Structure 1
Amino acid sequence: MEQFLSYFTLDVIGIALLSTLLIMLFIQIYFYLAYYKKPLSYLKQIADTHEEITPLPSVSVIIVAKDESENLAKCLPSILNQDYPDYEVIVVNDGSTDESEFLLKNLKREYPFLYSTFSPYSDANETIQNKVLPLTIGIKAARKDILLFTEADSLPMTNQWVKSMVNSLANKDIVVGYSRFTESEDFSNKTALFDNLIFTLQYMSMAIKNKPFAGLYKNLAYRKHLFFDNKGFSATLNYDNAEEVFVNYIMTDNNTAIALSQDSYVSTELDNFSHWRKIKTAYSRAKFNFKGFTGGIFSLETLSRYLFYLLTIASIIYSIVSQLWVYLGAAILLFIIRYIIQIVVLNKASDHFLTNRFHLSLPFLDLIQPYYNSYFSRISKNKKRRKK
């Protein structure tokens, strides 16, 4: 009996390990409850007070496409058949050499509110991913009050997309929407789905807290006057991915809304790892130039996440080596507590954002996701440059 009780004695090293582990657990719980749970909690808060805008303002849907005739053939019918009283669709042909013009010409015969224009110059340098010129052309061609942006590889999930995005705008100037990734059996796809969910919860929770920092042109709307009031992209023109930096610059603590209705979603078919890398590196290039970058608070979540895993492993190893099993039990208990909170919060979010649920693979995805983000950031930093 005495020997059995000796396995559960405490010592300074073990107490230090468990105390630090407990602190990391509290930090993790704080982020999950205060940030990652925030969008769904906010949705419940506004469910009874949300009202549709009347009358509905006019909308210009703007798409920049370069050699994407196949994607345009998929997305345009859905966009052109939206249930909305007053909108136009503008496709900016960014130097395409495929069948895009032929496709657009045929669709215009059926849809008189479809317009197309072209960008006379497309930068072939892969290290510069700006869409400043074609977007400016599209915005100046727009005749409506609200500018709603998407991309050729993104498909609205319902015919209520335009209406849902506009209703989410309400009395704000900017609304950031959600773009889901399609699922496949490829391993990188599972990582991309997890990363996309985490990123969505991050930028949406910060917008709810009146600290918005990002909006992606896959699903984004802002009032037309914002573009001209800020002299277009002139303030961010010297940066890679200037259009993304522009969105960050015009966001304030009281002008940004989020779209949480499933009618507002678009779906992006993730072809392969290279496609995901292109999306992530484009955002990373822009992120380097964000003002203040309030999203940087999530670096603390990442740090505490890794420390939690390391301290859990260290506690287990120390318990086995010292044969003090109390540390083994405590470490496993704390791990289970975090896992339960994590899986409940993320799977509820997964259901709402129409992506796959996470189970036994969650700890591995949890560990590898920051690695991929670091990898994409390194690529972006190596290629990043300021135009002279």
Structure 2
Amino acid sequence: MIEVFQAILLGSTFILSIYWLLAWVKITTYQTSQTSEVQPVSVIVCAHNELNNLKTLLPILLDQNHPDFEVIVVDDRSDDDTYDYMLEAQNDRLKNVRVDQVHDHINAKKYAITLGVKAAKNEILLFIDADCTPNSSGWIQQMTQGFLPSTDFTLGVSFYSRAKGFLNQYIRYETLLTAVNYISWAQLGNPYMGVGRNLAYRKSTFLENKGFNKYQHVTGGDDDLLVNQLAHKKNTHVVVGAASLTFSVPKQKWSSYFKQKLRHFSVSKYYKTKDKLLLGLQNLCNLLYWLSLFILASQTNLYEILGGVLLFRWVILINLNYFTSKKFGDRMNSWLVPILDIFHVAYVTITGSIAIFTKKVQWK
């Protein structure tokens, strides 16, 4: 039996190491392609009771260094004076879309996004959440300059702002690992998700494929399910770098973060079978790694070998954390990686298991 756990430990170490090293190389050596043509863009922001965040975000968006864009704010049933603020915010680039009621046949946020898409005058749509801010005045230009005639999707990276406490450290670590996953997989020809906090796609692609029709009842997934359904190797572009980055306001409480991650995990059950298998293999390897390591540590005296295997894992993860976050434009604290790694595997296992059996989650 000891030999079985040794094989599991070495096998999981090999699989994870190959993936992490491949992701490290793909991301850190990537050069974002550009086109010389400046393309008109419609920036879409969905907001439900986001008055204070809109007061921060809109001036930044309207001051973007891009010659041809509009900003569409979809006011989704807000009762915090968002409507009055939008009436007073006079700007030729700004357009307000008001949602007064929820429809039973479609999730509220998906309905809001659909109205925003239909109201857009431009072909290229760029999405950002109301509680986010672009990291530069060139954000629109960076996120859209790679749109070739064959491009339908551009995937960007969005991190969370720094704050004190372990929760913030973990949120930022988990967000980095998620970005490493979907950016590197897209580079390898298998785009499986994106984040609505920094995502661009064509209006025609959305409308021709009937938008969210296949999963309009699902809470969440307005970003990753659309990418999972329609994106592929030939029509997807990724953008990395500080100028293309956005930052979002992180959760302050574990309970709020748990609800957010539960929503994210619950959506992944609607992914393509191939993507569910690949993600499942990754999570299974992480879980088996730690289980076999603990069992061997308690049942054998191979402490030097086990310590070497563990050190090998953490050296790769620390370097992956350091160099990919630097490439993305926001360097993370690498010294906490060993603690965050252990916590991450446990948290993902527990939350993911709960999400499988959760039937109803909420957006807002």
Does the TM-score normalized on the shorter chain lie above 0.5?
Answer: yes
Q: CA deviation at 1:204?
A: 0.8
Aligned to 1:39: 27
Query: Which of 20, 24, 32 does residue 12 from structure 2 map onto?
Result: 24
Q: Which runs of 5+ in 1 are unaligned?
A: 1-12, 321-326
- CA distances 1:315-368 after superposition (whole Å, capped 9, x unpaired): 443444xxxxxx222222222222212211221112233142222x32332122
Aligned to 2:238: 258
Q: CA deviation at 1:59?
A: 0.4
Alignment partner of 2:97: what SS?
strand
- CA distances 1:25-48 after superposition (whole Å, capped 9, x unpaired): 21221121123543223x1xx36x
Inter-CA distance 377–307: structure 2 relative to 1 (3 Å threshold): closer
Answering whether residue 333 of structure 2 is matched by residue 357 of structure 1, we say: yes
The range that moved more, 60-69 or 310-319, is 310-319
Inter-CA distance 309–77: structure 2 relative to 1 (3 Å threshold): same
Following the alignment from structure 2 to structure 1, what is the Cα–Cα distance between the partners of residues 3 and 113?
A: 58
Query: Which of 349, 359, 362 does residue 384 from structure 1 map onto?
Result: 359
Aligned to 1:112: 92
Q: TM-score, normalised by structure 1?
A: 0.84
Query: Which of 174, 195, 198 does residue 195 from structure 1 map onto?
Result: 174
Aligned to 1:324: none
Inter-CA distance 248–16: structure 2 relative to 1 (3 Å threshold): closer
Answering whether residue 201 of structure 2 is matched by residue 225 of structure 1, we say: no
Matched-pair contact (CA < 8 Å) for 1:202–1:295: no
Following the alignment from structure 2 to structure 1, what is the Cα–Cα distance between the partners of residues 101 and 86?
A: 19
Following the alignment from structure 2 to structure 1, what is the Cα–Cα distance between the partners of residues 351 and 4?
A: 35
Q: Which runs of 5+ in 2 are unaligned?
A: none
Q: CA deviation at 1:383?
A: 4.1
Inter-CA distance 133–230: structure 2 relative to 1 (3 Å threshold): same
Aligned to 1:134: 112
Aligned to 1:370: 345
Q: Highest CA radius of gyration, 1 or 2?
A: 1
Inter-CA distance 102–195: structure 2 relative to 1 (3 Å threshold): same
Answering whether residue 281 of structure 2 is matched by residue 300 of structure 1, we say: yes
Alignment partner of 1:61: what SS?
strand
Aligned to 2:123: 145
Q: How many residues were matched structurally?
A: 357
Inter-CA distance 20–243: structure 2 relative to 1 (3 Å threshold): closer
Taking every aligned residue pair, what percent have the same amino acid on both sides?
26
Matched-pair contact (CA < 8 Å) for 2:117–2:125: yes
The range that moved more, 92-101 or 165-174, is 165-174
Alignment partner of 1:144: what SS?
coil
Query: Which of 291, 303, 310 does residue 291 from structure 2 map onto?
Result: 310
Alignment partner of 1:155: what SS?
strand
Matched-pair contact (CA < 8 Å) for 2:37–2:145: no
Aligned to 2:141: 163
Inter-CA distance 150–25: structure 2 relative to 1 (3 Å threshold): same
Following the alignment from structure 2 to structure 1, what is the Cα–Cα distance between the partners of residues 353 and 123?
A: 39
Aligned amino acid, residue 216 of structure 1: V
Answering whether residue 321 of structure 2 is matched by residue 346 of structure 1, we say: yes
Alignment partner of 1:165: what SS?
helix
Aligned amino acid, residue 26 of structure 1: F
Following the alignment from structure 1 to structure 2, what is the Cα–Cα distance between the partners of residues 319 and 285?
A: 39
Following the alignment from structure 1 to structure 2, what is the Cα–Cα distance between the partners of residues 278 and 355?
A: 27
